[in-house]
């Protein structure tokens, strides 16, 4: 799954990496993004404009926004059949921008978990595949929300976890965001595990365990003999 991630790249880097998207001038630097917080999203109905969406999908038919607290990830294999996701999968897809994500490695024969930061080996930002919804709040205002799609792990991620976020490659952005693309046969191949050889990972401080921690110390590498021995 993906329960925390980062978007610490500055706006110039984002504009250079994603030239077809328009990022807001006030986009904050984030080192520890958690569910229910606003995240940077490009939806397939806004012409490349990046907006802030609530992380935790609230389906249009939901009676209570609290359902979004449980819908932070969606398995790619079942998007076309799950009631919470099948409508959005056909019509409301998005890219969710990041430059790393966290996963917790469970030390064998122990209750200890080590937070691991996973990122591109060259440090460049990337985009998760996501779904979005617009939900009418009791006030009458619309709340836009999203969910991060997960897939099978690549060889790197398989060392620490049985799932990973579905990272959409730049060559597939247009296909993923194409409003006319609606069949699982066309869309699901875009959610394959990302190339392991292009990625890297390292242990970080347990400070990242708390959503209140959001500074460069969250991404600073730390030494961990348990993790080194495992991988």
Query: What phi-psi label fits residue 140: left (phi over 0), alpha (psi between -120 and 50 degrees) or beta?
Result: left
List 94, 103, 146, 218, catalytic entry = 103
Active site residue 103: yes
Residue with tokens 């009631």: 83
Instruction: Classify each residue of 150-188 as buried b or exposed e, where b means 16 or more C-beta atoms within 10 Å of its C-beta.
Output: bbbbbebbeebbebbbbbbeeebbeebbeeeeeebeebb
Q: Sign (positive/negative) of CA torsion 166, 167, 173, 177?
A: positive
Active site residue 218: no
How far is C-alpha 102 from the chain's CA centre? 10
List 2, 94, 146, 218, catalytic entry = 2
Q: Sign (positive/negative) of CA torsion 29, 105, 3, 76?
A: positive
For residue 216, what are its two tokens? 């460069």
Give the residue numbers annotated as catalytic, written as ranges: 2, 103
């Amino acid at each position: 799954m993906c329960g925390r991630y980062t978007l610490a790249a500055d706006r110039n880097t984002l504009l250079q990496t994603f030239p077809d998207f328009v990022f807001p001038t006030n986009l904050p630097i984030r080192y520890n993004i958690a569910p229910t917080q606003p995240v940077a999203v490009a939806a397939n109905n806004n012409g490349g404009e990046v907006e802030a969406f609530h992380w935790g999908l609230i389906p249009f038919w939901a009676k209570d926004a609290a359902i979004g607290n449980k819908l932070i990830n969606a398995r790619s294999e079942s998007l076309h059949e799950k009631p919470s996701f099948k409508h959005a999968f056909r019509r409301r897809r998005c890219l969710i921008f990041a430059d790393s994500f966290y996963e917790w490695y469970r030390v064998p024969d122990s209750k200890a978990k080590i937070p691991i930061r996973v990122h591109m080996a060259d440090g460049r930002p990337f985009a998760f595949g996501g779904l979005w919804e617009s939900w009418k709040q009791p006030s009458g205002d619309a709340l836009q929300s999203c969910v991060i799609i997960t897939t099978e792990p690549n060889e790197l991620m398989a060392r620490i976890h049985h799932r990973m976020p579905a990272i959409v490659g730049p060559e597939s952005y247009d296909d993923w965001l194409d409003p006319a693309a609606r069949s699982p046969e066309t869309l699901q191949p875009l959610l394959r595990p990302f190339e392991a050889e292009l990625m890297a990972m390292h242990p970080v401080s347990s400070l990242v365990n708390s959503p209140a921690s959001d500074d460069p110390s969250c991404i600073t590498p730390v030494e961990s003999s348990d993790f080194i021995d495992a991988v």
